[in-house]
Chain A
Amino acid sequence: MILYTIMPEHLIFPVDAAVYEKRKMVYYDGIPFLVQSVETGEYEIVQNLSTNPFHFLNAKYAPGARFPASLATS
């Protein structure tokens, strides 16, 4: 489908609010992460928001890794 408009797509087709609620920013080991909750009661890392480049070398903090929701602080 082609929409002949200059309106941004997300203004025409707003995404369901539930999608936003799934993702949030939490701190884990003092590092900020963008996470999404998974069915197992864990958080899956979507994005590592740290500015310390060494935090990106640890597999524990890589996108896709999971940690228990109870370990997250905000």
Chain B
Amino acid sequence: MEKERYFQAETEGEQPETKAEEATAAITQLGQTNVPQMDPDTNIHCLTIVGQIEGHIQLPPQNKATKYEHVIPQIVAIEQNPKIEGLLVILNTVGGDVEAGLAIAEMLASLSKPTVSVVLGGGHSIGVPIAVSCNYSFITETATMTIHPIRLTGLVIGVPQTFEYLDKMQERVVRFVTKHSKISEEKFKELMFSKGNLTRDIGTNVVGPDAVRYGLIDEVGGVSQAMAKLRELIAMRKNGEGKMIQ
């Protein structure tokens, strides 16, 4: 009896301690105590394109990267899920692999649901086709986009065929951007090959309002404008569908 009581007393004494541990675990691990809970169902999903766009070579874990093997199945899932009515794409990327970037851009462009993109901070290099691939694009006032010719980092071009291959690849990027935005091919190429804007490199760093002026991006704005536009596009699509049935 005495033994039993002893054990019971011990467990009783420990209980409040473990409770306190659980509570502090959340604080030490997350730096926060609790976050608001909301209805888990939403008709608008959000895709973030951050860091580098990873291609065939896996980047070291310390690099923040967007991996196409993560993003592409998500886009497929968004297309399939009838509960999802729109997609908001948030960009803050330095660019990266051309093929992977174009793959994501093509997936977004061929999505049947309304898409709106917002460039925050930066949408450089291959981030440009991703930004313009959406139905409507926004850029914040301070965000920038670097437009420059494509290159193979660190590899020396050995044969003329490699150069031709690169040239064709660049042509694909130019064609995609001019097809999905209001910018003309001449203007885009002018920005791409201009000298003196980037130190000792060719290309242009386009700031928010300038990107809109060139026709690359549709409007200067942030999250509220983007959400309002997305809701408008969703409503338009619903009305369009209603008319089709009639």
A31–chain B nearest beta-carbon distance, Å: 10
B70→A59 contact, CB < 8 A: no
Is A70 at the interface (CB under 8 A from chain B)?
A: no
Q: Return the contact of A51 from the options B34, B36, B37, B78 (Cβ within 8 A).
A: B78
The answer to whether B35 and A58 have CB atoms under 8 Å apart is: yes
For residue A53, which residues in chain B have a CB less than 8 angstroms away from its CB?
42, 44-46
User: Are B30's CB and A54's CB within 8 A?
Assistant: no
Say yes or no for B10: interface residue by CB 8 A criterion: no
The number of residues on chain A lying at the interface, defined by a beta carbon within 8 Å of a beta carbon of chain B, is 28
Is the beta-carbon distance between B30 and A65 smaller than 8 angstroms? yes
Least distance between A34 CB and chain B CB atoms (Å)? 8
Tell whether A1 is near chain B: CB-to-CB under 8 Å. no
Q: Which of B30, B39, B60 is close to A15, meaning CB atoms less than 8 Å apart? A: B60
A62→B70 contact, CB < 8 A: no
**B171–chain A nearest beta-carbon distance, Å:** 24
On whether the beta carbons of A66 and B153 are closer than 8 Å, the reply is: no
Of the four ranges (under 10, 10 to 19, 20 to 34, 35 or more), the interface on chain B belongs to: 20 to 34
* Contact of B46 with A23 in the complex, beta carbons under 8 Å: no
User: Are A58 and B78 in contact, with the CB atoms below 8 A?
Assistant: no
CA distance A34 to B30 in the complex (A): 16
Give the secondary structure class of B's interface. Answer: loop
Q: A7-B153, A8-B153, A65-B29 are in contact. Are A23 and B61 (CB under 8 A)?
A: yes
In the complex with contacts A51-B47, A51-B78, A53-B46, A59-B61 CB distance below 8 A: no
Residues of B near A65 (CB, < 8 A) are: 26, 29-30
A62–B30 CB distance below 8 A: yes
A11 lies within 8 A of chain B by Cβ: yes
Asked if B154 and A25 make an inter-chain contact with CB atoms under 8 angstroms apart, the answer reads no
- A11 CA to B38 CA, complexed, in Å: 45
| Interface residues in A1-34 (C-beta closer than 8 Å to B) | 5-8, 10-11, 15, 19-20, 22-23, 25, 32, 34
Residues of A with C-beta under 8 A to B44: 53
Q: Are A57 and B70 in contact (CB under 8 A)?
A: no
Cβ contact within 8 Å between B38 and A57: yes
Report the bound CA distance from A16 to B153 in whole Å.
Answer: 22
A52 located at the interface, meaning its Cβ lies under 8 Å from any Cβ of chain B in the complex: yes
Q: A49-B70, A52-B45 are in contact. Are A7 and B61 (CB under 8 A)?
A: no
Chain B residues with a Cβ under 8 A of chain A? 26, 29-32, 34-42, 44-47, 57-61, 63, 70, 74, 77-78, 87, 153-154
